[in-house]
Amino acid sequence: MLKLSLVALLIFSLAWRLTPTACRQTNASPNIQQIIAKQLQSYMDLKTHPCENFYQYACGNWQIQQQEQHSPRDGQWVKDRAPFHGQLIPSDTLGLIDQSVNRKLECVLRRKNESSSELDSTILEQMRRYYRSCKRLRPYNLKKYLLILPPSNGTQWPSVGRGWRPERFDWILTLGRLRLHGLNGVLVREDVLPRWDDSRTYCIYVNKPSRQETLPMGEGAVIELLLDIGQTKRTANALSRLVNDFEQKLHRLQELEDDELGAREMQLGYLETYLPQLRWLSFMRQVRTDFELDLHSTLIIENIPYLRALSDLMDSEEPETVCSYIMLKWLTFLKQQGPADISRSECVASLRRAMPLASSWLVGQQFSHPDSESNVRSLFQRLKARFTQILAENRLRLSSPLLLILQQKLRAVHLQLGFFQPDKAENLQQYHVHIDLSGHSFYGNQLVLLRKRVEANHNLVFMSSTNSSDSNVSYLAESWQASNSSPLYVRPRNLVLVPHGLLQLPIWHRNISDLQQHAVIGFALAHELAHGFDITGIDYDALGNIMGPIEEIGANMHFRQGFNCLQQQMGTGSNWIDEKLADFVALRLSYESFFGLRVDKKRRDPLMPQFSQRQLFFISFAQFFCSRTPVLSQGSQSEAHLKHAVNELRVIKTLENFQEFSAEFGCDKKSKMQASHRCRLW
Ligand SMILES: [Zn+2]
């Protein structure tokens, strides 16, 4: 997916002034082209030569412009926040977009109910209750969750009160209880996902956590959490060392290889005899509290050697260490769900995480516009048409049956605007009708909503395939993707999903030029489309089943050459190969789709006559990735630094592999913006 790296294009600041916190409707400026032209030029650093560092050339002044636009003289919307320290400048375009979405939603939540529809008012009322309960938090206190939900009915958490009974603690039971409330990837992963061989039905997958998920939290982070819930420094120090030792041992289990048999489908009853030490039934009974378990139902289980070793590790550890570890992971998870601070917009951000389906529906109501929708759809069709031509050119010289499979798959890839389809609004009401939220109980609300999501996902397993339409993506409601504005590709659905929130300035306006459309949203759509044909995506066929022709294509010499070339360029370590591939394909698709249109290529933009159309295309594309360079501080190798570096590299690597770029800017062979070997796969 495009991750958090779509970036600032154009007119943000002017648009910003038109849409401050004051909850009034604004009309788009009729001079959108002028605004864009002015903004585009203001971000550029013309002292840098485009062949030296194109990112700096296109984005060098972005941050300065943002700082000016976000300075406190726009005082209105900073008044209920901490003093201004430059922290309010979003790190990149998606940050800008999400800030703007949050602000708009906040206005809706604060308005009196204007809607006449019963459906709207039910869902809106629940969203308001959540929002109000968040606003009433003084302060946000993680310990409250621990009091509401103990590890089991027989014991309290070791760090809370005096009710800790180690003999009553059972790690798998606690894990099941927290899984029901949204925790996952701690000691084990349990997911409800489309079946690999029949993507319209669902199955439970059991696996080890990812490598990322078992990375030790670090003693500093552990101590901070423990102090948050009222531990003394001394206790926190001692406990953090114990937990850290445990985490190291746990992380080492990652090295265990899966046995030859790999993923296996088993009946629930059989798993209990095959792997009794895991006691999976105890786990499932916590997750499916209201249902009698069907021992004949199946699940898909991977990494059995890990699961065996995990059970042994659990037996050898002190219950207090294990229980504290689970508690700390639980608190970390809850902290991500809650508001970062108790400001209005943070409460909206938390609302979007807690109620992703309802929020997506509301964002759709606020942001969708029929013109935008049809423009984006026809842009997507143009990109697909160009990709169809590229496949037909058959650079890789694939056999005809193989080519046919790829063409079928490309035909199957479709676009959906909004996470939640309007015609599914009744389902949405069904989903919310039994949720009991209170305007006074933030912690309780949070747990109710988390539980509802996990229950709804597990109910999918029992749904017959005829009830699920091809594009049903509700199973993603548990993941973070559901709560932001980044576009994404859903592999088992062959679906490019564009949240409505994305279709706004600075990325989109229905009156922006064709060139801007192609260079920005066109690139984003093409990037997601390309994920259907990256190394992972090829594994999925036109039905979304993991039965794609990856082996046959992998055996093709030309494909391997392209793949090796990409791998050699991975030296920067900044990017997954699939992301790099998607960027390369996307630039070509969006560029060729636009310049393949009947456009007068000689004509220059009268507002920016100093640039050719092709130059403008590359500048607009690059400005999509402009981002903030974080201020160096303690622990400065932060995520924000990494993100910035990734954005810069993405622009440079993508352009230096694109011949038309160096030709247009006259970069010679020795310049930095030219790769020694250009990679191309498709
Ligand atoms: Zn991507």
pLDDT of residue 113: 63
* Residue 285 · residue 276 · CB < 8 Å: no
- Ligand 1: centre distance to CA 2 (Å): 4
Which range among 482-486, 487-491, 600-604 shows the weakest confidence by mean pLDDT? 600-604
Task: Calculate the alpha carbon distances from 532 to 51, 411, 419, 544 in Å.
Answer: 32, 11, 19, 10
585 Cα–ligand 1 center, Å: 11
CA 487 – ligand 1 centroid, Å = 9
Residue 247 above 60 pLDDT?
Answer: yes
CB neighbours of 323 closer than 8 A, spacing ≥ 6?
151, 157, 158, 164, 166, 169, 171, 174
pLDDT grade, residue 587 (50/70/90)?
very high
Q: What does the pLDDT read at residue 429?
A: 83
pLDDT band per the 50, 70, 90 thresholds, residue 425: confident
Which of the four pLDDT bands, split at 50, 70 and 90, describes residue 467?
Answer: low
- Report the alpha-carbon distance of residue 359 to residue 127 in Å, rounded: 8
Helix (H, G, I), strand (E, B), or coil: what is residue 188?
strand
Which tokens sit at 363? Answer: 């964002």
Question: Beta strand pairing status for 414-417 and 495-498?
Answer: parallel
Q: How far is the CA of 531 from the centre of ligand 1 (A)?
A: 7
What per-residue confidence (pLDDT) applies to 473? 85
The pLDDT of residue 342: 66
Separation between Cα atoms, residue 381 and residue 375, nearest integer Å: 10
Return the pLDDT at 82.
38
The pLDDT of residue 23 is 62
Q: Which residue has the higher pLDDT, 353 or 468?
A: 353
Place of tokens 């209880």: 177
Structure tokens at 67: 């700082």
CA of 539 to the centre of ligand 1 (A): 16
**DSSP secondary structure string for all residues of 280-318:** HHHHHHHHTTTS---TT-EEEE--HHHHHHHHHHHHHS-
Give the model's pLDDT for residue 261: 77
* Span from the CA of 524 to the centroid of ligand 1 (angstroms): 9
Q: Give me the pLDDT at residue 572, please.
A: 56
Q: How far is the CA of 263 from the centre of ligand 1 (A)?
A: 26
Residue 397: its pLDDT value, please? 94
- How far apart are the C-alpha atoms of 205 and 218, rounded to whole Å? 29
Query: How many Å lie between the centroid of ligand 1 and the Cα of residue 489?
Result: 8
pLDDT tier, 80 (very low <50, low <70, confident <90, very high otherwise):
very low
Give the Å distance between the CA of 173 and the centre of ligand 1. Answer: 37
Distance of alpha carbon 536 from alpha carbon 543, whole angstroms: 15
The confidence band for 412, taking pLDDT boundaries of 50, 70 and 90, is very high
Ligand 1 centroid to residue 218 C-alpha, Å? 29
Question: First CA to last CA across the chain, in angstroms?
Answer: 19
Question: What pLDDT digit, counting tens, does each position of 269-309 carry?
Answer: 999 999 999 999 999 999 999 888 999 999 999 999 999 99
**CA–centroid distance, residue 491 to ligand 1 (Å):** 12
Distance 29 CA to ligand 1 centre (A): 32
- Residue 15 pLDDT greater than 80, yes or no: no
Rounded Cα distance between 553 and 559, Å, is 7
CA of 578 to the centre of ligand 1 (A): 7
pLDDT over 90 percentage in the chain: 62
Contacts of 244 (CB under 8 A, 6+ apart): 216, 218, 219, 222
Is the predicted pLDDT of residue 11 greater than 50, yes or no?
no
C-alpha pair distances (Å), 72 with each of 69, 79, 92, 400, 628 = 9, 9, 19, 62, 18
In the prediction, which pLDDT does 526 show? 97
Burial of 74 (C-beta count, 10 Å sphere; 0-12/13-18/19+): middle
- Give Cα 278 distance to the centre of its chain: 31
- CA Rg value for the chain: 26
**Two tokens, residue 112:** 């009196």
The better pLDDT of the pair 29, 194 is held by: 194
**What pLDDT digit, counting tens, does each position of 543-586 carry?**
999 999 989 999 999 999 999 888 888 765 445 889 989 999 99
Alpha-carbon distance of 390 to 535, in angstroms, equals: 18
- The lowest-confidence range among 241-250, 336-345, 427-436, 568-577 is 568-577
Model confidence at 1, pLDDT cuts 50, 70, 90, reads very low
Q: Which two tokens stand for residue 522?
A: 């066109």
Q: What is the CA 196 to chain-centroid distance, rounded?
A: 22
Q: What confidence tier does 673 reach under pLDDT thresholds 50, 70, 90?
A: confident
pLDDT in tens, 114-170: 655 666 788 899 999 999 999 998 888 999 999 999 999 999 999 887 899 999 999
Listed range (119-128, 237-246, 357-366, 536-545) with the worst mean pLDDT: 119-128
Q: Any residues with CB less than 8 A from the CB of 539 and at least 6 apart, and which? A: 546, 548, 550
Angle, helices 233-252 vs 304-316, to 10°: value is 150
Q: What is the DSSP secondary structure assignment for residue 53, as one 8-state letter?
A: -
**Window from 101-105, 122-126, 465-469, 660-664 with minimum mean pLDDT:** 465-469
Is the confidence at residue 112, as pLDDT, over 80?
no
Runs of H (alpha helix) within 518-638: 523-531, 550-554, 557-568, 577-596, 613-623
Q: How far is the CA of 596 from the centre of ligand 1 (A)?
A: 25
Distance 580 CA to ligand 1 centre (A): 8
**How much is the average pLDDT of 599-604?**
74
Helix axes 233-252, 219-228, angle to 10 degrees: 130
Adjacent-strand bridge partners of 387: none
Q: Which residue has the tokens 């949203």?
A: 521
624 token code pair = 């999509």
What is the Å distance from ligand 1's center to 525 Cα? 10
Q: Which residues contact 195 (CB under 8 A, 6 or more apart)?
A: 201, 202, 203, 545
Residue 394 CA to ligand 1 centre (angstroms): 24
Kindly state the average pLDDT of the residues 25-34.
Answer: 64
Look up the pTM and report it.
0.89
527 CA to centre of ligand 1 in angstroms: 6
- pLDDT at position 640 is 64
pLDDT of res. 134: 93
Residue 490 C-alpha to ligand 1 middle, in angstroms? 11
Q: Report which of residues 629 and 282 the model is more confident about.
A: 282
Higher pLDDT, 338 or 617: 617
Give Dmax (Cα) for the chain. 80
Q: Give the whole-angstrom CA distance, residue 468 versus residue 491.
A: 16
Please tell me which residue, 313 or 344, carries the higher pLDDT value: 313
Mean pLDDT of 397-416: 96
For all residues of the chain together, what is the average pLDDT?
A: 86
pLDDT at 670: 83
CA of 583 to the centre of ligand 1 (A): 8
